[in-house]
Every structure is written in structure tokens, then in C-alpha cells.
């Protein structure tokens, strides 16, 4: 059995959620580097493939943005299934609530799905957001979104829905990945 695949040879689908600055992209890439085959599916990247009419996220959830997020999440869920069935470890990452996982999970019956809420303190999220280099825009524009999302995403609602919660506020990137890999999941 290859690391990252189950008894059937299928890969694992990791779902990482957290506010901007929680470390989803960095953790995703570092986690997948531990597997022989890995696919990173950031929902933002799928959304940004829209050439005209892209609706940007906002705290008031404009209907067109909601529709475009649903399309991107459906595309990611279907792509994740295809790759996981071929033995890839897959990470889908986005700002997700437990209900969003239920929406995507309808595509994953019989697969090993591991939802994780990456949590940081508000101060750490802001610090990481300001120092990251993986965006093509001035990330300071995300500060109000981080402030608005923080109280809406308490770790407790994720735990209640069966998600693992990893507080990476004081962890390095590698120790965060180690913590993810030590999590126990139902068989």
C-alpha cells in the first residue's frame, strides 16, 4: 500500500478551511509533498479562471458570487473524485463552512474524506496575510474580510460537524503538516 492511499488504492481527499491568512495554501502544498501523488485544488484558482463576469467574495454574499463559488466547488469536488480514485492525495482549500462540505461530499461516496479547519488567532491571521507572497494583489485588502469572517468561523461549529480542528498559531508549517498527518480518522 502506498502512503496516502487506502486499502483500495484510492487516495485521500483533504478539505482545508480557514480564514484568509490561516495558511491553507502553504499547508496544502507541504502536505501534498509528503505523498507520491498529490493534487492541490484551491477554489480561488478555479474561480479566477473566469475571464469575464467574475464575482468577488463579500461578507454580504452577493447571489452571483454564491453561484460562482458553487460552480467552483462542484468542479473541485468532481475533479477530486477523479484524482482520488486514481490514487492521488487531493487537497481542496477554501473558506468553507460545514454545510459547504455536505454540498461537495455528495460527489465522494465511498472515498476517504478528511475535513480540517485550520485555526489561528486573529493576530496571526493578519500577520500571515500581510507577509504572504502567493497572491498577485495587495493582500491588505483582505483585512476587513479576515475581521468579518473570524467571528463567523468558530472552531466549535466545525468540531460539532465532525471536522478536525488544528490550531497552527504557534506551529511551523512542517509541524502543522505533522499534526494533520497524526489525526485519526474513522475507517
Cβ 75 vs Cβ 83: under 8 Å:
no
Task: Give the rounded percent of residues in the chain with a pLDDT score beyond 90.
Answer: 65
Cβ 7 vs Cβ 153: under 8 Å:
no
Q: What is the pLDDT of residue 158?
A: 95
Would you say residue 23 lies in a domain?
Answer: yes
Cβ 56 vs Cβ 65: under 8 Å:
yes
Q: Residue 65 belongs to a domain with what CATH number?
A: 3.40.50.300
User: In what helix (H) or strand (E) does residue 72 lie, and over which residues does it extend?
Assistant: helix 63-84
Q: What is the pLDDT of residue 130?
A: 73
pLDDT tens-place string over residues 38-61 = 999 999 899 989 999 998 877 788
d(CA 182, CA 16): 15
Q: What is the pLDDT of residue 1?
A: 34
> Residue 12: CB partners within 8 Å, gap ≥ 6?
4, 5, 6, 84, 89, 90, 112, 113, 114
Would you say residue 3 lies in a domain?
Answer: no
Would you say residue 29 lies in a domain?
Answer: yes
Would you say residue 4 lies in a domain?
Answer: no
Would you say residue 5 lies in a domain?
Answer: no
Would you say residue 171 lies in a domain?
Answer: yes
Would you say residue 110 lies in a domain?
Answer: yes
pLDDT tens-place string over residues 112-148 = 999 999 999 888 877 877 776 665 556 566 777 778 8
The whole-chain average pLDDT of the chain stands at 88
Would you say residue 6 lies in a domain?
Answer: no
pLDDT over threshold 90, residue 186? no
Specify the higher pLDDT residue, 31 or 7. Answer: 31
pLDDT over threshold 60, residue 111? yes
Number of domains in the chain: 1
User: In what helix (H) or strand (E) does residue 153 lie, and over which residues does it extend?
Assistant: none
Cβ 20 vs Cβ 95: under 8 Å:
yes
Residue 121's domain comprises 12-182
Amino acid at each position: 500500500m502506498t502512503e496516502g492511499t487506502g486499502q483500495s488504492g484510492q487516495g485521500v481527499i483533504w478539505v482545508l478551511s480557514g480564514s484568509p491568512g490561516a495558511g491553507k495554501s502553504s499547508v496544502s502544498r507541504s502536505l501534498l509533498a509528503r505523498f507520491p501523488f498529490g493534487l492541490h485544488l484551491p477554489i480561488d484558482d478555479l474561480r479566477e479562471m473566469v475571464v469575464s463576469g467574475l464575482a468577488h467574495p463579500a461578507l454580504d454574499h452577493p447571489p452571483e458570487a454564491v453561484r460562482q463559488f458553487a460552480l467552483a466547488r462542484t468542479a473541485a469536488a468532481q475533479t477530486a473524485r477523479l484524482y482520488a480514485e486514481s490514487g492521488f492525495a487531493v487537497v481542496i482549500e477554501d473558506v468553507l463552512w460545514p454545510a459547504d462540505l455536505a454540498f461537495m461530499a455528495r460527489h465522494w461516496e465511498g472515498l476517504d474524506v478528511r475535513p480540517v479547519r485550520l485555526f489561528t488567532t486573529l493576530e496571526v491571521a493578519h500577520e500571515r496575510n500581510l507577509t504572504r507572497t502567493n497572491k498577485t494583489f495587495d493582500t491588505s485588502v483582505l483585512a476587513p474580510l479576515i475581521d468579518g469572517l473570524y467571528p463567523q468561523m468558530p472552531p466549535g461549529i466545525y468540531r460539532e460537524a465532525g471536522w478536525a480542528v488544528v490550531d497552527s498559531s504557534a506551529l511551523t508549517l512542517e509541524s502543522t503538516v505533522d499534526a494533520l498527518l497524526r489525526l485519526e480518522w474513522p475507517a
